[in-house]
Amino acid sequence: MDSITAPRRMLIGGGSIARLAELLAGFGLSRPFIVTDRWLVSSGMIDRCLAPLTAAGMPYRLFDETVPDPTDVVVAAGLDAFRAGDHDCILGFGGGSPMDTAKAIAILAATGGHIREQKVPRAADRAAVPVVCVPTTAGTGSEVTRFTVITDTERGEKMLIAGLGALPVAAVVDYELTLSLPPRTTADTGIDSLTHALEAYVSRRANPVADMYAERAMRLIGPHLRRVYRDPEDRPAREAMMLGATLAGLAFSNASVALVHGMSRPIGAHFHVPHGLSNAMLLPVVTRYSLPAALPRYAAAARWIGCAEAGDADQLAGVKLLEELAALNAELAVPSPAAYGIPADRWEALLPLMADQALASGSPANNPRVPDAAEIVALYRQAYGST
């Protein structure tokens, strides 16, 4: 049996943020607690979110203390702020960090305790109030997923929290919010989206509905990722990437991510590498390792991404996929962990712990080829000096 989830309503298209108040009102909501970050406030981007609320006379409160790799500490502070007001929903406005923080606050408001008590394998199915998400990157896909990733600051672990409590009831997917994103963030978030679609499609938990989302996502992201990196103002390419990111989110939320994400979270937790970038550092090495276990699926992905011809045999398409992932990292200036500045001795010393944390997240078990801890350590070593 497959279990499929998605938000109850999504507004998709340029300018759709202007309909935010109408969207909330449709659910009987009118008093949002808005979770965002300081840059989105200081840059004025937040006005795109606040203007329709103000025009509709909806009172709101802003919580702008979200940090990259959102922490249990920030979630606790957000919960206090949420409880200090009278709110009937939580609105996550920003990249993955504000959206994931918004989800975690909604869950913790229902459960109490510490957010680590909700991590997998527990089902975090309860939320105190509905969550509505508005992504400003393309992207984590968090606006449509039943996941949130929060760092446990005491244990140095990026925790995966999964359940219906993390699934937004609604999302606004407006590519115009991404037009001002700098190339680095554009590349990192875009590779994250590509990784979501590819991992969902080769996952052991793949299913026909997730496959449909993954295929369409790869067809959109493949031809447009380089374009948005080179020209941030390329509106058709921005629009394609935004839809691709959301569809990739629906793909992995209904299948899973796999080994790249499993190994990526510990890199983020220990070395504070942005999420999409740590995925990119691992994607070529992990795909080479995994390819023989799901060759027809990787070959199909290569054709949809656009790096293999329709008539290429699977073996050739697989080789072309590996070449494409390496070329993409080179063109998008993705550094190796070494080039990023991670010292070799610290990397080496942490590998056993990182491998254990990767396995504990459950994601490697969804990979077409399932590694043990020693193989994960070997893959981390391979990735260290290469991209």
CB contact set of 324 (below 8 Å; sequence gap of 6+) = 302, 305, 307
Min separation Cβ 249 and Fe ion, Å:
9
- The closest of 339, 332, 326, 331 to 385, measured between CA atoms, is 339
Min separation Cβ 130 and Fe ion, Å:
23
Min separation Cβ 264 and Fe ion, Å:
7
Per the CB < 8 A criterion, the answer to whether 83 and 109 are in contact is: yes
Q: 192 or 239, CB closer to Fe ion? A: 192
- The closest of 123, 120, 129, 60 to 93, measured between CA atoms, is 60
* Window 114-133: residues binding Fe ion (CB under 5 A): none
Min separation Cβ 192 and Fe ion, Å:
4
User: Alpha-carbon distance 303 to 260, whole Å?
Assistant: 21
Q: What angle do CA 66, 67, 68 make, to 5 degrees?
A: 130
Query: What DSSP state is assigned to residue 71?
Result: B
Q: 37 or 192, CB closer to Fe ion? A: 192
Min separation Cβ 276 and Fe ion, Å:
7
- The closest of 222, 143, 218, 219 to 178, measured between CA atoms, is 143
In the bound state, the residue with its beta carbon closest to Fe ion is 192
User: Alpha-carbon distance 197 to 218, whole Å?
Assistant: 6
Q: 158 or 320, CB closer to Fe ion? A: 158
Q: 83 or 272, CB closer to Fe ion? A: 272
* Window 226-255: residues binding Fe ion (CB under 5 A): none
Min separation Cβ 75 and Fe ion, Å:
19
Is residue 75 classed as helix, strand or coil in its secondary structure? helix
Q: 176 or 192, CB closer to Fe ion? A: 192
Q: 52 or 262, CB closer to Fe ion? A: 262
The count of other CB atoms within 10 Å of the CB of residue 289 is: 20
Is residue 136 classed as helix, strand or coil in its secondary structure? coil
Q: Sketch the per residue contact string, 95 through 114, with Fe ion: x for CB under 5 A, - otherwise.
A: --------------------
Min separation Cβ 274 and Fe ion, Å:
11
Q: 16 or 253, CB closer to Fe ion? A: 253
Min separation Cβ 251 and Fe ion, Å:
12
The number of angstroms, rounded, from the C-alpha of 18 to the middle of its chain's C-alpha atoms is 24
Q: Sketch the per residue contact string, 162 through 201, with Fe ion: x for CB under 5 A, - otherwise.
A: ------------------------------x---------
- Is residue 334 exposed (0-12), middle (13-18) or buried (19+ Cβ within 10 Å)? buried
Per the CB < 8 A criterion, the answer to whether 106 and 75 are in contact is: no
Q: 143 or 192, CB closer to Fe ion? A: 192
Report how many residues bind Fe ion under the rule CB under 5 A: 1
The one-letter amino acid at 39 = W
Binding site residues, Fe ion, CB under 5 A? 192
